Structure 1
């Protein structure tokens, strides 16, 4: 790992407050255990959990003159496998940590690894970005289901998460309308395929070649959206897959069109059950 500058104390303190919170943070035993496992000396100057953690981490980064071992400590604490039976805690603490880490140009991913991102500069930056994106999309008369994903917490560093979550909403709507449990291209094929069977969802009556072509084309569009945006954003770190405002507007507009089409689909499978 490259040398990463020391955390501002204004960032280190809330990180310790999150991890050492009386009600929702780590236990005193866990803090001592994880510090020891990461070879971080505990000066034992304070008795409270958050102060104990702050003293140890501040001393470590001052001695190292960088934050690398602090980052390693957070990654050690936030290993996803530790929380197989407490996933809600992991996601909530990860969200809180990421708000603070964003000011240091860092993000804790779901893998438990910390990646570099474009740093947030002000508390209002994400709110302003979300407001502007939402206003532009409203002017475009975007579908309401897409507007749900233009939230400040999804735009702390860039538009990556807004696009990722919006593409997930397509699959969720298909599952709700069909009762299927698949995802991605498998879900699309199962929901819209009509060869020798009644599809779960149909854009039209599928009587003419033109109507059948529209159904195939829409199915291919959905598969393309998942392959181009959802699968890419799911597997590529944001630092290597940039989405600027114009990209986000265009992608979200396409997703809006898809939602409008899905709203109008015929639930053919349910309609013809028991009649064939």
Structure 2
């Protein structure tokens, strides 16, 4: 099965526009044994994405298969190549998945390319995004949650948007404390214990201390249920309706709102 021209264009744009440098492109093309138009040659003035698109089209036409292009994607999206800039990896991956999902593929967090249920059109995802955003706005959810209702997050499914929203709480805890751990360990270290790093209330009464413990348990449960499964499985199919997704997003909104008022108790 070959990629369509529109797929190759979109894949090249996703990889080039979202972060690959010219030297990285040249290195990866050599690894994948693809021809390369040197952009600094006399008379040559092509953009990074066009350089990739020419290489992809040339290789697919010559071999009549897409194996080398898939290898290029795997090499480009290997997490080890993005340790210094994790944000670039995510931006590239979700831009890339807009193109890949239309071809019945997707790129995982591990940089693997796997089969997926093909999205028909991006306009369908955009309609879902508008509908979900409207539902969440009626609930007055936290602005951080609304960021996860764009079409690119919903091309895959509602579960994916929920997973990323839960991850946003983890990211917030790391930024607030400077820690680098993740999941339940991070939640317990930041919000648990006799003197938590972050407290959602003054913790002066038993009820307030119980509320803090309950918040830890609730957030830990959400992480275990909606963040961990897709982080550790190659592919998971969770049927999730828009109503279910909105309910969970509302819960994530609660997490963010309580963290809005969190303070750092003095540590002895």
State the TM bucket, normalised to the shorter chain: 0.7 to 0.9
After superposition, where does 1:53-64 map in structure 2 within 5 Å? Answer: 53-61=56-64
How many pairs align? 254
Cα distance between partner residues in 2 of 1:31 and 1:198: 46
Cα distance between partner residues in 1 of 2:211 and 2:22: 55
Q: 198, 201, 205: which is aligned to 2:199? A: 201
> TM-score by structure 1 length?
0.73
> TM-score by structure 2 length?
0.75
After superposition, where does 1:1-276 map in structure 2 within 5 Å? Answer: 5-16=1-12, 30=27, 33-36=30-33, 49=51, 50-61=53-64, 67-68=66-67, 70-82=69-81, 90-178=89-177, 180-195=179-194, 197=195, 200-208=198-206, 210-265=207-262, 267=263, 269-270=265-266
Describe the superposition over 1:166-185 as per-residue Cα deviations: whole angstroms up to 9, x where unpaired. Answer: 11222333345555554322
Post-superposition shift, 1:256?
A: 1.5
Larger radius of gyration: 1
Cα distance between partner residues in 2 of 1:129 and 1:252: 15
Post-superposition shift, 1:249?
A: 1.3
Unmatched tracts of structure 1, length 5 or more: none
Describe the superposition over 1:246-274 as per-residue Cα deviations: whole angstroms up to 9, x where unpaired. Answer: 33112111111222233344x2514xx5x
1:142 alignment partner, SS class: coil
Post-superposition shift, 1:224?
A: 0.9
Q: Quick check: 128-137 or 67-76, which moved more?
A: 67-76
Unmatched tracts of structure 2, length 5 or more: 38-43
